[in-house]
Amino acid sequence: MTLHHNHKIFIALGSNLGDRFENLCDAVDLIEQQLGLIIKVAPVYEVPAMGFDGNDFLNSCILVHAIKTPAEALEILQGIEKSMGRLPKTGESYENRVIDLDILLYDDVIMDDPQLTVPHPHMLDRDFVLKPLSAIASDVEHPVLKKTIGSLAFSKELEHLVEESGISLSRKQILDNLISKNKSSLDNDHLALNRFPIDQLNFIAIEGNIGSGKTSLAHKISEDFKGKCVLERFADNPFLPLFYEDKERYSFPLEMSFLADRYQQLSDDVAQHELFSNFTVADYYVIKSLIFSKITLHSEEYALYKRLFNMMYKELVKPDLYVYLYQTEERLLENIKKRGRDYEQNIEASYLAQIQQGYSDFIRSQKDLKIKVIDVTDLDFVNNQADYIKVLEQISEAIVAN
């Protein structure tokens, strides 16, 4: 499976037509729905139009985590501008505009393309860009100048920017526009955590059938919310490809090796917190060992296996939230085929149905674990940002529920 890593994209926003503040809020909302998760929001500043005779601007900056390339990000931002009513320029000079969205920084990438140049070539000449950017990227290094944004902003005269009365709470208002029930404090600069309180957990386990996307989701959540990611080491198991060729012969050694490895990994990685991680998220929990072994083992083997499992299970840390991703067998087979692992291509729908039933029986019987089942059959939370937000909202609802 190819895991898509987040890119840190700093974007400048400006508006000087209509309800300027509402335009900024709408743009931020569309960016989060179409491009990536909003991580930081800068204060909003009001400044006179520069380079032409026009209305005063409201300007701000945001940090977005996204898997898109620079070209893809640019295309999305231009589409948002168009959907909000921005018109093409009619002349060579600057003009009034409903919304203006510019990519300032994209990781530490340096590129000069006819369609896009990063870092933005004029960001250091525009105080109305540099000051809000420095509020959320003070320690970020300019990839060309090798100086921090904070030091570059400090070296310029920025006093003429006005953070007016009524605009001083604009960060909170933009955040409230994204999630109406937001109760967060702006003291935490990682604003995504305020809207999706995943950091309230110590350990979240994400499970699902083969091909459900549990690894992709665990990876995305760990990157967006500064979590420690624990991924199952199935690729290193020498019995797995053999099992798919001869289930009768290799079921027991496969399940025993998985159990030993899962127990060791969860004991070592979940129990030990890392200094810069808010929580731990895993793409499995040890209970899957019991579910899969019940399907694959003979009754005598399963009885022995269950005795060993129970001895190990009582020693492990239990997840604060257990998330199960449900997909239909038809969709799972499509996903399995798409990711192209040779040893998985002969998996049958009946086998997936057995696994599905095993998870269903486990979930219904549980009284000690806090469980959230999310139907992701019609969601593509890897490539569709809006679907990812839907999943995060459901996880957040489970966290705050009694």
N-term to C-term CA, the chain: 36
DSSP letters, 13-58, are EEE-SSSHHHHHHHHHHHHHHHT-EEEEEPPPEEE--SSSS-PPEE
Label residue 243 by pLDDT band (50, 70, 90).
confident
Q: Given a cut of 70, is residue 224 above it in pLDDT? A: yes
Q: Given a cut of 80, is residue 278 above it in pLDDT? A: no
CATH entry 3.40.50.1860 includes domain 7-190? no
Q: Which pLDDT does position 241 carry in this prediction? A: 84
From the list 100, 102, 224, 283, the catalytic residue is 283
Q: Where are the alpha helices (DSSP H) in 229-348?
A: 239-245, 247-265, 287-296, 299-313, 329-339
Q: What angle in degrees, to the nearest 10, is found between the helix axes of 20-34 and 170-178?
A: 50
Containing H/E element for 388? helix 385-400
Residue 225's SS3 state is coil
Label residue 126 by pLDDT band (50, 70, 90).
confident
Give the residue-averaged pLDDT of 366-395: 93
Q: Which pLDDT does position 2 carry in this prediction? A: 65
Mean pLDDT taken over the chain: 86
Say if CB 120 and CB 12 are below 8 A apart.
yes
| Identity at 153, one-letter amino acid code | A
Q: Given a cut of 90, is residue 120 above it in pLDDT? A: yes
Q: pLDDT exceeding 70 applies to what percent of the chain? A: 86
CATH class of 196-400: alpha beta
Say if CB 10 and CB 62 are below 8 A apart.
yes
CA atoms of 42 and 55, how far apart (whole Å): 22
What's the pTM?
A: 0.82
Q: Which pLDDT does position 375 carry in this prediction? A: 97
Give the residue-averaged pLDDT of 342-364: 90
CA atoms of 289 and 308, how far apart (whole Å): 11
**Residue 236 a catalytic site member:** no
Produce one character per residue of 344-363: b if its CB has 16 or more CB atoms within 10 Å, e if not. beebeeebbebbbebbeebb
Q: Which pLDDT does position 175 carry in this prediction? A: 58
Q: Which pLDDT does position 339 carry in this prediction? A: 84
Say if CB 14 and CB 54 are below 8 A apart.
no
In the chain, where the domains are located: 7-190, 196-400
